[in-house]
Structure 1
């Protein structure tokens, strides 16, 4: 079920030396307020819940880099693939993978369009998301560092995305008057209808705007998740934990959470080739400063995995301090890639546990795999990201195609 957050956050962040963090924290905590849910939020009240088979599947699509359709050439493909290759190959891949996986939710993690090459941002967005809107499957999106480089501002891009068919995206939490970025929101996934968990959120999804580029003159490079966003996340996470651990059906610990944004955290650089599943074929293009969001995630205790894009030819998952840090791998054909290395998408599937009475209960495990854009939509690198009995368990296996 999707529950609209009605908090008001009032804080801004601009100090290059991070000396106002404590003051900003106090300002945010003092300014949190509750506002009524408006009629404009009605479509966000659509309910997401686990299916009657006890599963909930999420398809992550990273870095489509969509531009102008048929006239937009592909990048980094084999010589035999160049002729006739365009944005339409991205569209065809998206149609195929939606049809094959039949996800409950599609998540686009930024650089949905490549602004500098898109003549009309709204038209490019419509074309990029067309397979999702045609599928009648709920979907959401966050922004990358290239989306706003065309004819719409960053805010304008998110406003347009929020109006599209089947989109559950939000520009920002309702009442958040001074939160950094555009596209910070969360969704709650309810238990199976007709069970004791149908009114509980058994899986929480967090979406954040990781920014585009630093606006602080003394700090070069990409953007990062700011204190105002972290305070919003902390408050949202605390609310989810409180509700999940309260009656009825009070649970002993928090429901698992997943976080999605575009730019990887600096902690993605923590892994060697022996302690992750997938490949690392380029550097970790995180912000040049560490905003501390990973520490915030660890302290909250509910997020079990983080999913990003941005670095197109990295597609690994690695576990750090109980949290899996995962890339999706590049999806779009107008995005840079590696000739001969297939475009791909990441699938995540959460499975519920069976209760003693044969009903469905809380989340038992979360697993993932990737689908390649080849003749068979080959599934690779299947692994368990988290399980209720053994947090952080990692297992390599081939996922059979169904």
Structure 2
């Protein structure tokens, strides 16, 4: 495996790419953003922090998994069915019936469909990894809550990633997506001056008993009707790192300390997909009518928040609720107890790009860098750059490399991006939209014009 080392000037640069979230034909704008960010940053490492795969894409309709352990293709979202019809993609069951009625050759078996999905995953990887490989930059990837939904689980995706040059995902990791990337000092001594930790934060919480499973199954019809608004209606919420991963966070520091010969934890930054609950501590609760406030999700529902600028770095952005798990498994406490960890960065919530310092550690986001999923305006989609120095890795500098800075104000399909930015999936997102001053002003103006028109019509009728 390629060894990572600080440059002769003591610097080391990392790019965090979050939520590519695309199908086999990766959007050209996404690839362009990745290429331009690499050209601008000249990174030493690229980390992908989950949801690289748009697991619910119609391309994977025959092998889609709502949850792990289900029958492939058994519970496809209605929105995916509609998108498939618009794109002319037929499910295997539909096309098989047509083939039998026309006396045509039999359709592929499930094993063959899974092989086709593996090839589509390779195409997806080849698309967004293209600029990384062209630039000869090593990369590592962990997993989110949508990657596995294509039907290919993380262990197989790990094998596929390793087919590409520059992949640092080890074969002997604790679990797919959880591993350490030590960075050696610039003097060539082999001493570990810092480490990048990749953590698999899980996907969806597991049911704890048969009764809850029956309840979730009963909720399934509501889920398929409004799968975007009720994405978690048939589950216990988002997942968390495994107990083994939490224990590993401390054990790996012991190993690195032993490697250096001093037993001390090394400065470390962790990357994962789903944020822990402590990310809410970077916010402050405000009245519901506060402009640009966002309403919390699930365990934080009914409360509205804005950034707490006393703990957040300049340039931070809050665009949506923090989608954390309902359970706090103590990950941030584990990081601080292990020593050495100075930051934890996540993806998952596509519109968020803040960095806050709470509980003695930096907690931060990178927004989506993709153009096939929901997110902020084109000019705010981007990739997070980190610049470390071996003399003080914890004193790192970070900033966003955005589409607006690297390419221009608008993408090649700005109409679609506009709808993705203003997508309303339920009452909470509707209220969040109304808190955006520009949206409220437009709606208020439209209502005023409508009221004036009605008054004029009544006056005209009265004459």
- TM-score scaled to structure 1, two decimals? 0.69
Q: Give SS of 1:165's match.
A: coil
Alpha carbons 2:182, 2:196 under 8 Å: kept: yes
CA 1:99 to 1:289, structure 2 compared with 1: closer, same or farther past 3 Å?
Answer: same
Q: What is the match of residue 44 of structure 2? A: 104
- Find the aligned partners of 1:216 and 1:265 in 2 and give their Cα distance: 19
Q: What is the match of residue 312 of structure 2? A: 276
- Find the aligned partners of 2:331 and 2:380 in 1 and give their Cα distance: 31
Matched, 1:229 2:261: no
Q: After superposition, give the CA deviation of every residue in 1:5-51 in whole Å (9 maximum; x if it has no partner).
A: xxxxxxxxxxxxxxxxxxxxxxxxxxxxxxxxxxxxxxx2x211001
Alpha carbons 1:115, 1:121 under 8 Å: kept: no
Alpha carbons 1:62, 1:310 under 8 Å: kept: yes
Alpha carbons 1:155, 1:171 under 8 Å: kept: no
Alpha carbons 2:33, 2:407 under 8 Å: kept: no
- Find the aligned partners of 1:329 and 1:345 in 2 and give their Cα distance: 7
Unaligned 5+ runs, structure 1: 1-43, 71-86, 354-361, 379-402
The counterpart of 2:200, out of the listed 205, 209, 214, is 209
Q: Give SS of 1:281's match.
A: coil
Q: What is the match of residue 373 of structure 1? A: 403
Alpha carbons 1:244, 1:254 under 8 Å: kept: no
Q: What is the match of residue 113 of structure 2? A: none
Matched, 1:239 2:255: yes
What is the CA-CA distance between 1:107 and the residue it aligns to?
Answer: 0.4
What is the CA-CA distance between 1:171 and the residue it aligns to?
Answer: 4.9
State how 1:165-314 maps to structure 2 within 5 Å. Answer: 165-173=165-173, 176=174, 181-194=175-188, 198-217=189-208, 218=212, 220-244=236-260, 246=262, 254-272=265-283, 273=307, 274=309, 275-277=311-313, 278-314=316-352
Alpha carbons 2:379, 2:403 under 8 Å: kept: no
CA RMSD, 1 decimal: 2.0
Query: Which of 1 and 2 has greater Rg?
Result: 2
Q: Give SS of 1:141's match.
A: strand
Alpha carbons 1:111, 1:143 under 8 Å: kept: yes
- Find the aligned partners of 1:285 and 1:363 in 2 and give their Cα distance: 29
Q: Give SS of 1:63's match.
A: coil
CA 1:343 to 1:172, structure 2 compared with 1: closer, same or farther past 3 Å?
Answer: farther
State how 1:86-97 maps to structure 2 within 5 Å. Answer: 87-97=27-37
Q: What is the match of residue 149 of structure 1? A: 149
- Find the aligned partners of 1:163 and 1:283 in 2 and give their Cα distance: 36
- Find the aligned partners of 1:245 and 1:112 in 2 and give their Cα distance: 38
Matched, 1:332 2:272: no
- Find the aligned partners of 2:321 and 2:332 in 1 and give their Cα distance: 19
Which is richer in strand? 1
Alpha carbons 1:107, 1:140 under 8 Å: kept: yes
Q: What is the match of residue 14 of structure 2? A: 58
CA 1:377 to 1:50, structure 2 compared with 1: closer, same or farther past 3 Å?
Answer: farther
What is the CA-CA distance between 1:338 and the residue it aligns to?
Answer: 2.5
Q: Aligned pairs, how many?
A: 296
- Find the aligned partners of 1:59 and 1:199 in 2 and give their Cα distance: 23
- Find the aligned partners of 1:97 and 1:363 in 2 and give their Cα distance: 22
Q: Give SS of 1:131's match.
A: helix
Unaligned 5+ runs, structure 2: 61-119, 213-234, 284-306, 409-463
Alpha carbons 1:58, 1:103 under 8 Å: kept: yes
- Find the aligned partners of 2:236 and 2:200 in 1 and give their Cα distance: 18
Q: Give SS of 2:319's match.
A: coil
- Find the aligned partners of 2:194 and 2:37 in 1 and give their Cα distance: 23
Q: After superposition, give the CA deviation of every residue in 1:299-343 in whole Å (9 maximum; x if it has no partner).
A: 011110001100010110111122100101111001211235521
Alpha carbons 1:61, 1:328 under 8 Å: kept: yes
- TM-score scaled to structure 2, two decimals? 0.61
CA 1:146 to 1:364, structure 2 compared with 1: closer, same or farther past 3 Å?
Answer: closer
- Find the aligned partners of 1:187 and 1:375 in 2 and give their Cα distance: 30
Moved over 6 A (4+): none
Q: Give SS of 1:113's match.
A: coil
- Find the aligned partners of 1:100 and 1:135 in 2 and give their Cα distance: 12
Q: After superposition, give the CA deviation of every residue in 1:39-69 in whole Å (9 maximum; x if it has no partner).
A: xxxxx2x211001111000000000112132
Alpha carbons 1:352, 1:365 under 8 Å: kept: no
Q: What is the match of residue 162 of structure 2? A: 162
